[in-house]
Each structure stands twice: as structure tokens, then as C-alpha cells.
Structure 1
Amino acid sequence: MPASHLNQLIAALPLQRGASEPLFRQLYAAIKLAVLDGRMSPGMQLPPTRDFCRLLAVSRQTVLNAYALLTAEGYLDGAVGRGTFVSREVPAAVAAPATAAPGLLRPLSARGQGVVTAMRQVAFHRGPLRAFRVGMPRIDHFPFDVWNRLEARRRRRPDHQFGYGDPAGYLPLRELLCVYLKASRGVQCTPQQIVITSGSQQALFLLSTILLAPGDAAWMESPGYRGASGPLRAAGARVFPVPVDAQGLDVAYGVAHCPQAKLAYVTPSHQMPLGVSMSLPRRLALLAWAAHNKAWLVEDDYDSEYRYSGAPLASLQSLDRAGCVVYVGTLSKVLFPGLRLGYMVAPPALAEALVQAKAVMDRHTAIVPQMALADFIAEGHFGRHIRRTRDSNAERRDLLVRGLAHELGDQLACGPADSGLELCAYFRGDHDEEAVSRAGLARGIELRPLGHYADPAAGPECATPPGLLLGFAAIPPAEMAHGLQELGRILRGR
């Protein structure tokens, strides 16, 4: 390159004087980019530092510092008395100008593409809270002052437990959860069977990954929780939709049409989204099928704490005698979603494998929140919070049920409403779910169509009457009243 062209190139290097980034770092980045995109080719001699200073009006030390960094990283070669050159070791392929369009970059692997696309159909919360957002607990009811005090106390007393932890989780927390699950859900376990996860979503991904081979069949409730079918598909499983009726998962249908499945995902205590509970005959039939076929059952018990009529139902795991049920729980609905703490209760023979898989994924879940939660439970705050929140949820559930009956009884029929954070409501008239949902967003309310939870590959036997899933736990009374008014206007075409 002629000296005049090189001088023009150097003079044009972008430097922002007065910026927070030092000038030598800016100069380093600009020369590095010029080398990588081929404007400064391998072997090219750069001007002496004094000339470089004059062209850019910077100090010599700025140039020397930039040269030193570039030389250390292998972009420049130089010696006193010989000059400074672009290194000939920079591969020509790297130094050549990039001409490929972004769409022609190397594709993801088939497995990577499966992971990326698996959750595309899952709806995520966006924007401020509004009626009738589903899956949200009442966060303003949580005693954050107590929680912050517990976390601060732990941080003030760091000890050896602040290093790398047990992949299974903080042992005192697992011991406390063991006691709690036995008392509240009838779960039969030891602390060694419990694995703490970063939310139940991580638990579902781990289980899908280590229990299924690509092509294995897995039963999935339809309609059902799309956040569970995502990990199954990401693992390469063949998801087989099984219909749900008033007694829960139709086990006989699954046995008749896909008896060779290796896993079944179920929400037996409170089916998502229909709200029904699996009957005892169905539970026993499901356990018998799994034991006979050496299949796994993943029991997602995502909100069993919030049952408003009678005691919480016993878990499916409490009936398991063949070691085939993995119980998955979350603290997102009991405490707050941002905590990202969940857990698995595995059969003894599977527990160690899950611990090792967890270690591969992220070594262990953050330790301070686990410690704070252990203190939160041990000091009685956990039990008090559940009782207080259950009462609050019941009040808001009653408010929504009464509001639907009074304002929209001619338009909607309520489904089961004895547990959970939301309820389903079926259209009495001829309404398009998606059109109603879009109209709701335009009016500032969230209306989740029941069809969102249906598997697109499911047959007519999995069809659910059109309707909506309406969240109530996090919705203040005034916002709920506003949402009911807007929903009434939409359904009546006003």
C-alpha cells in the first residue's frame, strides 16, 4: 500500500475524544479491526510511532500502549530499529474482507436447532401486570423485608459453604423440604433423593435429557403445559398427545395408541390448564402401566399448596411402589418467580445420576438463596406465608367467580376453581379464542386462549371446548373489575 494511502487509513481511524474508554483502547480496537477485515494486510509496515501520533493528534504513550496490546495478542510484530509490521501469522482467510451474508453462516446442529425451536410456542409475560395474567402469584404479599434480612445475615457471615457447593443443593434446605413434602404432600423421600434446581424448568430439561433417547415416545397431556413439551422436544423425543377429561389424563387412550412410551408427563393434582384432578383409578392405572413397561412418570406438582376446599391431595409419588415417579416442584408460585428455585424428588436409584447431570449443566444452583430459604422455612416464615397467601388467593378466586357469574354468566361457564392461581372459562356462545385474545390485548387485558395449550399435532380426540384461562391471584380487585368489564364488552361485540 502506498504511504499516502496508509496515512489516509490511519488518519481515518475512529477515535472518540472525551469518551469513557481510554484512547489507547480505542486505537487498539480500530487497528485490530483493520487487520481482521483486511485493510491492513499481513506484512504491512506501520509508520513510526511519532508519525502515528502526528496523524491522529494523540500522545506517543497512547500509540505505544496500543502497539503493546496488539503485539501481545499476535496482531503486530516489531523490534527496535526494525519497525512495526502487521504479523504474517494472521491467516489470510481471517484477514480477507468478509463477503458472506449473515444468512449463510454455519447452521446450528440438528440438536441445537431442536433446542432453539422447542419453546417458540410458549407464551412469556411481557409488560406490566394486568388482568388476567396467568401463572403469577401475588408478589406484593411476599415478606421481602424478612427475606432481605435473611439473605443479608448470610452474606455477613461467609464461610466455607460460599465456595463450590454440592450439585444436589444445600443439605439443610433438602432436609427441610423433605419434612415439608412428607407432611403436606405425602411424598416419601430422604434428603438424598432431593435435587435443588434453578426452577422446575431446569428439572424438566434434565429429566428429558437423561431419561430419553432421540426418537423415544413420551406421553404429554393435551391440552397441557407447553413449557414441558418444549424440553421433551429439545431432547429429540417423539411427543405423543394424550387427551384429558374430567378424570385427568386418559391412561387407556395412551395405552391403546402408544404403549411403548418411555415417559409420561402429568399434572395430576391440578391439571394445567383445565384444573381437573386425576382420579384415583386413573392414578393407579398410570402407575401400573409405568411399572409394567419400565417407563418413567414425571409428576409436575406446580401449585398444590393452593387448594381452597379441603386438604391438598396426596401426590402421585406417594402411591408409587415401583420407583418410577420423579416428583417435580417449584417455589416460583409459592414465593416469587424471580427466585428461580425448584426441586426434584427422584427414586433412590435415579438420584445420583440426576446430581451428576445437574453438575454438568451449571455445577450447582446459587447458594445464598438456598441458605436464605432454609432459614425462611426453619423460622416459620414459609408456613405463615403459604397460609396468608392461600387466604388471599381464595378471596380473589371468589371475587372472580362471582364477577363471572354476575357480569358474564350468559357468556362464560367456569371450569374447576378449587385450586391454583387461575381458572378456565368456556364460551357459551360462538366465539373465536384468538380473536377474543387479540381484542383483549388491544384493550389492555391478557386473555390466554385454552387452544394455546393444545398440541398442534393432536387429533380431534384431544379437542377442548373453546375458552380462556384467567389468572386471578396477582390481580388487584379494581383491575379485576376493569378486566371483567372489558371482557364483557368484547364478548358482546361492543
Structure 2
Amino acid sequence: MAKQLEGPILPFLRLDAGTALPKFRQVQDQLRTAILQGHLRAGTRLPASRILCEELGLSRQTLVRVLENLKAEGYLEARQGAGTYVSAALPRRPAKARVAPTEDDAPPRLSRIGAASRGVSAAIGRVEPRPFLPNQPALDRFPFAVWRKCWNAGARSGSAGMGYGDVAGEFVLRQRIAEYLALHRRDPCDPEQIVITPGGHAAFTLAALALADAGDGVWFEDPGPVTTSNLFRTLGLDLCLADVDADGMDVAGAMARHPDARLAFVMPSRHHPLGVTLSLPRRLALLEWARANDAWIIEDDYDSEFRYDGAPLPSIRSIDSHGRVIYAGSFSKALYPGIRIGFLVPPPQLVGTFRNLSGLIHRSVPVETQLALAEFIGGGHFASHLRRMRGLYAERRSAFIDAGQAALAGLAEIECSESGLNALVWLRNGRKDRTVQQDVLDAGLQCYPLSDYTIATARPDALILGYAGVPAERMRPYLDRLAETLSTS
């Protein structure tokens, strides 16, 4: 009986009682058109004739006539004991796309945000994973077997994991994150303060929507992450650019130029892409500015887990005594980017707003993934994985520095901070990073040009390279290839 229910649902088959065209012709023409347009592809099995008769209100004799005619025309074929299929001899082609708009077509009417989004790029997920891809963890060392067990353990909750979840995230995961923050980041919080989001980028979006209106200013480090600056622009915020030096964001300069900004977006643990950390005096000055101006700080705890010269630095939130910091974190670098789980820790007075807004925008993050992650953290596997990755990345960082200094001598200067997954390669002899990037891609490697992150402040040309995803024994061959590419650029 189950076999008879196989085959696609065909919603396009409709009988029109108001036309003089016979029923068999209506069904026959609609099936033929669906095959020609690629909606029914070659090799597709049709539903059993009994099912089609019931759904269309046709007699079996009428349907048999339709199928026999289409078989005779070459559109269908019968397979002994298996049913009726779209002929395998037909070309396999996708359904026809709608005709692309021409220059004469009027532009579609969009919202302000929709119109703004057309001018920026969101193609971050389309990057090919080649050697030296920035921000790429060592996916080859991910504990797949342990993760699978954690997933299965979470799935034992049965149908509970298949429904809508709490808009703030599953409480067990929020508990585990709160325990992790208290132990590893020296930043205790109530699990009820935590709001789970589908990734870190979604956390920034939620904070910006909750706390700022179009036209409000946001302090933003220059250079800074492209997707985040594009996000704020799209939301209508005014980017108030802040310089970055060896001590991180120039807070005094930002205060002098943009004292009335509504938000400050900052990466204090490890700035991306320059790799510097925000000094304690500047952290305190930032907190005082936010308190005095009724402003908010979005703290992106970027790459905080991977520091190679000591324990991770405390967060700004851990020294915030006035409730002005919204802490944002994710598991994209610590585990893998596709997990799409981030979180926010807003001050207590904002928790209700963030919960409600998250429910309106995201509804909930997939519950099964949350339960698996909670099991992974609670079982001690997350801490063990971080410990292993710190050792591995420290080894790969050393291999990158040693091999890079030898291979790139005279071509570029390597700068590799004591944290994170990336390094900067400052180009010499007038080489332009955007031009060199294409040559690097042609050589089968990957990099990002620093110029793409720069908004207004001119800086020397450099390439951003990720070393964490490259085995130590492969560093020298890949860097030799990079050197060969630079020598001919």
C-alpha cells in the first residue's frame, strides 16, 4: 500500500469545468507542458493511477487514455512492475526561470532596507575553502564521532526536539553557556539573560534593531569586518568611523568626533582584521562614555577562545558596572561555521525586549542543534576541543611564521598576533592587495585583501591569510607557491 503513495504531488493539474476541452485533453496538455518546462524532469515517477484518479476526480479509463497518449508521444514510459515515469530519453533540464528584467523594466518597489541591501555584498558563504582561507577552523580535526553521540543524546527527547523552541533558546543550552562564560571568560551571568540567535551576525542585527533607529550613529572600527559594516549601513545607521592602533579602537578620537553616537560596535578581544586587543584604559573610557551618553556597547567577543600567550582576556561586560554592554558570541570559529548558533547577553533591563524581538524575527533556532550543543558543552567535550585546538593552532601558527619568513623574504612582511586564526602579510614593492588576490586565487590558494576592510583610513596593502585550517607540514609548500605568485605579480 505504501508504494502506491509514492510519486510527486502535482498541484498544477486542475480540471476546468467551464471549458469545452475534454477532461483527458486538459490533463494531457498540462502534463505535457510540465515536462517540456522541466517541472517534471526525466526519470521522475508519476503517482499511481489510482491516486491520480482520486485526486482529479477522473475515471480510470480516462486517465489510462491520457497516459497511453503521452507514452505514444514519447513523454512517458512504463516500467514493468514499477509504474509510469517521465521518459529517461528526454534531456534533464531545470525548470525554466522567469525572464530576467531588462533595462526598460521599471525597478521593483522596495522598502528602504531592501533598496539599501542591493548595494552591498552578502556573498560570505560562497568562498571556496582553499588553503589559507581566513577565519577557517581546522575542520579536519573536529570530533565528528563525539558530536554525533551528542546529537543522538539530544534526539532522545523525542518529539520535544521537533517543535518550536523557546524564543530565547533552550534553557539547558543557556545554562551551559552561562557556566562556560563564568568559568572560561570570568564573566558570570544568569542563564535567563542569554538569548540564543542563529549565528553572531543575527545577534548584531537584533541588537541594532532593538537599540537604534535609522540615522543613529554607531562607532565602527576602520578597518573592520565588511559584512557587519554592510549590515549597519543597510539598517540605515550612520557609520561613525574610529581609528585602530596598537591599543585597539581610538576611543578618545571617537568621543571627540562622534560624542552623540547611539551605539559602539567593538571587538576588544581580537580586532578583525588587525589582530590587536583593546587596552584596559580604553575599555574603561568606552564604558564611561556609554554611561554618560546613554549609549550602548555591542561587544563582539571575536576569537576570544584562541589566545596563545596566556588565558583569554576578560570581556568588557565583566567590568561593566552600569549595564551598558550587550555581549555577543558564537560557535562559528570554536566549532564550525555551519552550526549557526550565536548568543547575546544583554543587561537585565533589556532581556524582555531582546526575547520578544528575537521571537518576532527568528521565532527560534533549530532545537535539535541546540540540544546537541548543550550535551557537547555539558559533557566537557567543548572544553576539551578548545584545549586541543589551542595547541594545534599554536603549532600551525609557529609553522606559518617560520615557513613564511623564509619563503616570503623580500616580498612581504608577516605579522601574526598572539591570538586568533589569521595573519597579515604586508606587501612590499608597491604590490596592490586586490590585484594580488586574484593571482593568489589563480594559484589555488585563498586570501582576503586588507583594502576590502578599509572604509576611509588609508593603510598599506596587505593580505589576510588563515593558517588554522592548514596542516603544519603543508605550510612551506603552500607558502612557496604564494611566494612564486607574489614574485610574478
TM-score range, shorter chain: 0.7 to 0.9
Kindly provide the amino acid, as one letter, of the partner of residue 246 in structure 2.
A
Kindly provide the amino acid, as one letter, of the partner of residue 106 in structure 2.
L
The answer on whether the counterparts of 1:49 and 1:64 sit within 8 Å (CA) in structure 2 is no
The answer on whether the counterparts of 1:53 and 1:60 sit within 8 Å (CA) in structure 2 is no
The answer on whether the counterparts of 2:393 and 2:468 sit within 8 Å (CA) in structure 1 is yes
The answer on whether the counterparts of 1:416 and 1:424 sit within 8 Å (CA) in structure 2 is yes
Report what 1:104 is aligned to. Answer: 106
How far did residue 105 of structure 1 move? 5.9
Residue-pair matches, total: 427
Q: Aligned match of 1:113 in 107, 115, 118?
A: 115
Q: Aligned match of 1:476 in 471, 480, 485?
A: 471
Report what 1:4 is aligned to. Answer: none
The answer on whether the counterparts of 2:169 and 2:196 sit within 8 Å (CA) in structure 1 is yes
Q: Residue by residue, what CA displacement relative to the aligned partner does 1:193-238 show, whole Å, maximum 9, x if unpaired?
A: 1111111011011111111101001111110111221221222101
Give the TM-score normalised by structure 2: 0.80
Report what 1:133 is aligned to. Answer: 133
Q: Which runs of 5+ in 1 are unaligned?
A: 1-18, 33-42, 69-97
RMSD over equivalenced CA pairs, Å: 2.9
Aligned-partner Cα distance in 2 for 1:281–1:358: 34
Report what 1:154 is aligned to. Answer: 154
Q: Residue by residue, what CA displacement relative to the aligned partner does 1:131-152 show, whole Å, maximum 9, x if unpaired?
A: 2100111111111111111211
Aligned-partner Cα distance in 2 for 1:56–1:429: 66
The answer on whether the counterparts of 1:170 and 1:371 sit within 8 Å (CA) in structure 2 is yes
Aligned-partner Cα distance in 2 for 1:256–1:383: 42
C-alpha spacing 1:394/1:105, structure 2 compared with 1 (3 Å):
same
The answer on whether the counterparts of 1:302 and 1:329 sit within 8 Å (CA) in structure 2 is yes
Q: Residue by residue, what CA displacement relative to the aligned partner does 1:238-286 show, whole Å, maximum 9, x if unpaired?
A: 1122111111101121111111110011111100000011111111111
Kindly provide the amino acid, as one letter, of the partner of residue 267 in structure 1.
M
Q: Residue by residue, what CA displacement relative to the aligned partner does 1:276-307 show, whole Å, maximum 9, x if unpaired?
A: 11111111111111111111111101211100
Kindly provide the amino acid, as one letter, of the partner of residue 107 in structure 1.
R
The answer on whether the counterparts of 1:433 and 1:468 sit within 8 Å (CA) in structure 2 is yes
C-alpha spacing 1:60/1:234, structure 2 compared with 1 (3 Å):
same
Q: Which runs of 5+ in 2 are unaligned?
A: 1-5, 33-48, 59-97
Helix, strand or coil at the partner of 2:130: coil
Helix, strand or coil at the partner of 1:46: coil
Whether 2:20 is the aligned partner of 1:46: answer yes
The answer on whether the counterparts of 1:208 and 1:231 sit within 8 Å (CA) in structure 2 is no
Report what 2:462 is aligned to. Answer: 467
The percent of aligned pairs where both chains have the same amino acid is 36
C-alpha spacing 1:45/1:288, structure 2 compared with 1 (3 Å):
same
Report what 1:73 is aligned to. Answer: none
Helix, strand or coil at the partner of 1:206: helix
Kindly provide the amino acid, as one letter, of the partner of residue 127 in structure 2.
R
Report what 1:16 is aligned to. Answer: none
Aligned-partner Cα distance in 2 for 1:62–1:396: 61
Whether 2:198 is the aligned partner of 1:198: answer yes
Report what 1:5 is aligned to. Answer: none
Aligned-partner Cα distance in 2 for 1:396–1:324: 38
C-alpha spacing 1:471/1:56, structure 2 compared with 1 (3 Å):
closer
C-alpha spacing 1:280/1:56, structure 2 compared with 1 (3 Å):
closer
Report what 1:312 is aligned to. Answer: 312
Kindly provide the amino acid, as one letter, of the partner of residue 492 in structure 1.
S
Kindly provide the amino acid, as one letter, of the partner of residue 20 in structure 2.
L
C-alpha spacing 1:280/1:50, structure 2 compared with 1 (3 Å):
closer
Report what 2:440 is aligned to. Answer: 440
Structure showing greater Rg = 1
Kindly provide the amino acid, as one letter, of the partner of residue 264 in structure 2.
A
Aligned-partner Cα distance in 2 for 1:312–1:61: 63
Report what 1:163 is aligned to. Answer: 163
Aligned-partner Cα distance in 2 for 1:44–1:175: 62
Report what 1:489 is aligned to. Answer: 484
Report what 2:78 is aligned to. Answer: none
Whether 2:269 is the aligned partner of 1:274: answer no
How far did residue 444 of structure 1 move? 0.8
Aligned-partner Cα distance in 1 for 2:356–2:29: 59
The answer on whether the counterparts of 2:13 and 2:30 sit within 8 Å (CA) in structure 1 is no
The answer on whether the counterparts of 2:243 and 2:250 sit within 8 Å (CA) in structure 1 is yes
Aligned-partner Cα distance in 2 for 1:426–1:144: 36
C-alpha spacing 1:56/1:295, structure 2 compared with 1 (3 Å):
closer
